[in-house]
A and B are shown apart, each in its own frame.
Chain A
């Protein structure tokens, strides 16, 4: 296994007391982590169902270690088709083209407090959190990334969605000048994604504004993107300009592109293969051997959202 030491300033490493109290706050949702001292260890705990509090200075020595993916890899290996379809394209072109300020996020649809927010306004008044999550691409590779941002549920609560709002729809910037990949119709632009309201309200769902203690790089979906760690990566929409509450299931970009291959739910599920490749194993970037894919990407705390659902039909 390639072990690379990420450079985390000590200011980023949360004192043990705060770390433990955050874990209590989330209860079984042990994915709320702070700092890189124990990257995703609690997520390991969750996967093993152990639920035990981990000491900060020990790593679980089991076969499924979750080490942070080096910053270089996180910022140079991206699927962001707005900037080209090769993995290296976004890092090459996005930083010079994407204008992240001024940035407007529109919140509208079936809610009582819609609004047009500048970026600073949008994040003001909400909790800033650090979350280290696994991110599993539908192409069967994955990373472990220390995000920072604001819980999606806080933003939703602020907007006061109405009773009829059953879904939340997200939209990416549409601007072929800033996003040259949008001049080709590899996907229908702008990129659209969506969540069921209970999924959006789950504590794990994060509106990320940074990674590795720095502001979100352009190629990772600056300045604000979604991270839904129990779903395939294409659900974690980048460079969000609109959040809309709706009563109809949003028509999401990859589902429009290939309905038989990319569903609305897109929960990570090793038992349901992609029509053209298996989802049972994945390559963790930085490792030479593949590893088994975990149900819900190792976040079993979301399972209750889908009890009774046929996850093969609702892929």
Chain B
């Protein structure tokens, strides 16, 4: 199926809005008194936002029948990866690229362990996001990309574990994540009831959730 040609560029623009806001902030002094902390927070927030949007594409598509949404999922997923890279880079700048400090953080601070693991999990997903990879991996692509659920869950934990006392935003993300997962469980359980059907071609299977 061919999506309208505007969908993917529009998705890229939407996905890069957080970046545009950050860059604009940098030029207008809107990054505040501690720019590194501000950029770290905003890129982390953008990562979680994009992950949730990515996870929402398939349920929304099923619910609305808007199949043109299908081509946005990879875009938003890659945007999430872009922001997590920025987030990790900013964190490393904050720690002055000191391996000792960073390794200690990853080993000893649970919220960093969770965040770093989530980042690592997203790397193979970004690397195998191309059509060629989908073709090459076949059914394994589907299984590999289920790691996004674990990555998103770890990302939410990372946020919950780092706030001092205001759990409002982290818990909102947690609630959204739980709902998106619940919808998938429902779809999966419904699918099991129809196991008699022949398996779909690998490419289309990858496009479904």
Among listed A154-162, A215-223, A282-290, interface-contacting one: A282-290
Task: Place the interface of chain A in its size category.
Answer: 20 to 34
A290 to B162, CA, bound (A): 19
A76 to B95, CA, bound (A): 24
Taking a contact as CB atoms under 8 Å apart, the answer to whether B33 and A77 are in contact is: yes
State whether the Cβ of A305 lies closer than 8 Å to any Cβ in chain B.
no
Report the minimum CB–CB distance from B138 to chain A (whole Å). 42
Residues of A near any B CB (own CB < 8 A): 69, 72-73, 76-77, 81, 85, 87-88, 139, 141, 184, 186-187, 257-258, 276-278, 281, 283, 285-286, 288-290
Chain B residues, CB < 8 A from A278: 101, 104-105, 109
Taking a contact as CB atoms under 8 Å apart, the answer to whether A283 and B162 are in contact is: no
Give 20 A-B pairs besides A87-B32, A187-B165, A283-B94 with Cβ atoms closer than 8 angstroms.
A69-B33, A72-B33, A73-B33, A76-B33, A81-B166, A85-B166, A87-B33, A139-B164, A141-B34, A141-B37, A186-B165, A258-B164, A276-B109, A276-B161, A277-B109, A278-B101, A278-B104, A286-B33, A289-B96, A290-B95
Taking a contact as CB atoms under 8 Å apart, the answer to whether A283 and B37 are in contact is: yes
Taking a contact as CB atoms under 8 Å apart, the answer to whether A276 and B166 are in contact is: no
Chain A residues, CB < 8 A from B33: 69, 72-73, 76-77, 87, 285-286
State whether the Cβ of B110 lies closer than 8 Å to any Cβ in chain A.
yes
Report the minimum CB–CB distance from B154 to chain A (whole Å). 16
Report the minimum CB–CB distance from A79 to chain B (whole Å). 9
A24 to B111, CA, bound (A): 48
A77 to B34, CA, bound (A): 8
Number of residues from B at the complex interface, CB < 8 A: 20
Of chain B, the residue at the smallest CB distance from A78 is B33
Chain A residues, CB < 8 A from B162: 276
29 residue pairs A–B, Cβ–Cβ below 8 Å:
A73-B33, A76-B32, A76-B33, A77-B33, A81-B165, A85-B165, A87-B33, A87-B34, A141-B34, A184-B168, A186-B165, A257-B165, A258-B165, A276-B110, A276-B111, A276-B161, A276-B162, A278-B101, A278-B109, A283-B34, A283-B36, A283-B37, A283-B94, A285-B33, A285-B34, A286-B33, A288-B36, A289-B96, A290-B96
A289 to B95, CA, bound (A): 8
A278 to B32, CA, bound (A): 23
Report the minimum CB–CB distance from A140 to chain B (whole Å). 10
Chain B residues, CB < 8 A from A289: 96
A309 to B101, CA, bound (A): 29
Taking a contact as CB atoms under 8 Å apart, the answer to whether A88 and B32 are in contact is: yes
Contacts A76-B32, A276-B161 given: A186-B166 contact, CB under 8 Å? yes
6 A-B pairs closest in CB distance? A77-B33, A73-B33, A85-B166, A186-B166, A285-B33, A186-B165
Chain A residues, CB < 8 A from B96: 289-290
A79 to B73, CA, bound (A): 38
A281 to B101, CA, bound (A): 10
A69 to B32, CA, bound (A): 13
Of chain A, the residue at the smallest CB distance from B111 is A276
